[in-house]
A = this chain, B = another copy of it.
């Protein structure tokens, strides 16, 4: 079980400490994505070195490969992947349901299940018009993208799988809706998610490990009344923390609204996780509204294509393949203490990306994750000092 305490507040922004059986998470915290029990291109040694606090793996992907029994046989996910720190597992709800293309647009509830990392901020590529998923009150039937095998996820099996995986923080099965779903369908999905949450809690009491904690997921799309109703419902039922899931609307403005409708209805003394958000500007907007943790593939995925996170560039991104970096012998960022910036130049990184050397992705990922960890540290300090808004203004004013 985890404990959480708030140690500083600055407006709605708050800094706190989550104590898990596998270590401490200082919040606000970035949760690094390790979908398939590995943070792509890095080792646990690299992650420790750059300051990673907590990793989120994915129940849906790990169920399909290698399967939860193989991981349980290793003594659980921590031992299997060599990560002794705090771990979360996502329920796989997002992987099963489309959020980018709804039935309304005639593309099926889920157009494709794709063999990539989950990306709640991204888009599903449609490979076929035929849905691989059917949803009913009992749960979800779906076909594996790997081998065509048939699977059923129910609120109970998803808890059983996560009990075998053994992460410190686990999530119940939920139904994600698309920003294009109407209020009617979003309500149906929300109410189903609520019933599944209750079944998940019951299954968790039966199957959950003594060191595990179950968070509830708030749904309701971008509809004010539904978000409020969902938050009010979910917070009543003894979850150890809360995740804000599903569609966050069609714009940044919608996302801010969703947070403002949701967070005030969640109990002050429990941690709040925002699923699938992690761009610099979004982190500030979420922290400002009282979010404690978030996960996102953006820093790692961008790194693998040569997009480096920096302060002072448009949208905090430097495209290292740009030819202007061919003879730029400075580090990615002058004041960055990460292994990459301490040892390598922009010119070298550009060369590695141009030559498609695998170490390019590793060094870029080290930098991007270090950047985010350092940013989170600055945010925590600013909250403690009551200067969060100043820090946010400084970062967001740099945007063009």
Question: In the bound complex, do residue B80 and residue A357 qualify as a contact, i.e. CB atoms below 8 Å apart?
Answer: no
Question: In the bound complex, do residue A351 and residue B37 qualify as a contact, i.e. CB atoms below 8 Å apart?
Answer: yes
Cα–Cα, bound, A324→B8 (Å): 52
A396 at the interface (CB under 8 A from B): no
A1 at the interface (CB under 8 A from B): no
Known: A66-B351, A351-B66. A361 touches B362 (CB 8 A): no
Contacts of A185 in B (CB 8 A): none
Known: A70-B327, A327-B73, A329-B74. A348 touches B41 (CB 8 A): no
Within the complex, what minimum Cβ distance (angstroms) separates A134 from chain B? 26
Cα–Cα, bound, A351→B37 (Å): 9
Of all chain B residues, which has the CB nearest A44? B343
Contacts of A70 in B (CB 8 A): 326-327, 347, 351
Which of the four size classes fits the interface of chain A? 35 or more
Interface string of A325-358 (1 = CB under 8 A from B): 0110100000000010001110110111011011
Give the contacts of A344-382 with B (CB-CB under 8 A).
Answer: 344-345, 347-348, 350-352, 354-355, 357-363
Question: In the bound complex, do residue B358 and residue A65 qualify as a contact, i.e. CB atoms below 8 Å apart?
Answer: no
Cα–Cα, bound, A43→B37 (Å): 22
Contact of A357 among B38, B82, B344, B352 (CB under 8 A): B38
Within the complex, what minimum Cβ distance (angstroms) separates A343 from chain B? 4
Contacts of A363 in B (CB 8 A): 43
Interface string of A69-80 (1 = CB under 8 A from B): 010011100001
Cα–Cα, bound, A73→B38 (Å): 37
Interface string of A39-70 (1 = CB under 8 A from B): 11111110000000000000000000110001
Question: In the bound complex, do residue A343 and residue B82 qualify as a contact, i.e. CB atoms below 8 Å apart?
Answer: yes
Cα–Cα, bound, A80→B326 (Å): 12
Cα–Cα, bound, A361→B37 (Å): 15
Within the complex, what minimum Cβ distance (angstroms) separates A299 from chain B? 15
Question: In the bound complex, do residue B82 and residue A344 qualify as a contact, i.e. CB atoms below 8 Å apart?
Answer: yes
A81 at the interface (CB under 8 A from B): yes
Question: In the bound complex, do residue A345 and residue B80 qualify as a contact, i.e. CB atoms below 8 Å apart?
Answer: yes
Cα–Cα, bound, A210→B139 (Å): 73
Question: In the bound complex, do residue A357 and residue B74 qualify as a contact, i.e. CB atoms below 8 Å apart?
Answer: no
Of all chain B residues, which has the CB nearest A339? B45
Question: In the bound complex, do residue A358 and residue B361 qualify as a contact, i.e. CB atoms below 8 Å apart?
Answer: yes
Cα–Cα, bound, A351→B39 (Å): 14
Known: A73-B347, A74-B348, A345-B74. A359 touches B43 (CB 8 A): yes
A36 at the interface (CB under 8 A from B): yes
Question: In the bound complex, do residue B45 and residue A355 qualify as a contact, i.e. CB atoms below 8 Å apart?
Answer: no
Within the complex, what minimum Cβ distance (angstroms) separates A236 from chain B? 39
Cα–Cα, bound, A329→B70 (Å): 9
Question: In the bound complex, do residue A43 and residue B345 qualify as a contact, i.e. CB atoms below 8 Å apart?
Answer: no
Q: Which of A39, A44, A326, A355 has the most CB of B within 10 A?
A: A355
Question: In the bound complex, do residue A347 and residue B66 qualify as a contact, i.e. CB atoms below 8 Å apart?
Answer: yes
Cα–Cα, bound, A75→B348 (Å): 12
Contact of A36 among B38, B39, B355 (CB under 8 A): B355
Contacts of A352 in B (CB 8 A): 36, 38
Question: In the bound complex, do residue A36 and residue B347 qualify as a contact, i.e. CB atoms below 8 Å apart?
Answer: no
Question: In the bound complex, do residue A359 and residue B38 qualify as a contact, i.e. CB atoms below 8 Å apart?
Answer: yes
Contacts of A82 in B (CB 8 A): 343-344, 348
Complex A-B: 9 CB contacts under 8 Å:
A36-B352, A43-B339, A43-B362, A43-B363, A45-B339, A66-B347, A70-B327, A74-B329, A82-B343
Residues of A bordering B, CB below 8 Å: 36-45, 65-66, 70, 73-75, 80-82, 326-327, 329, 339, 343-345, 347-348, 350-352, 354-355, 357-363
Besides A38-B357, A66-B351, 8 other CB < 8 A contacts?
Answer: A36-B351, A36-B355, A45-B343, A66-B347, A66-B350, A70-B347, A73-B327, A82-B343
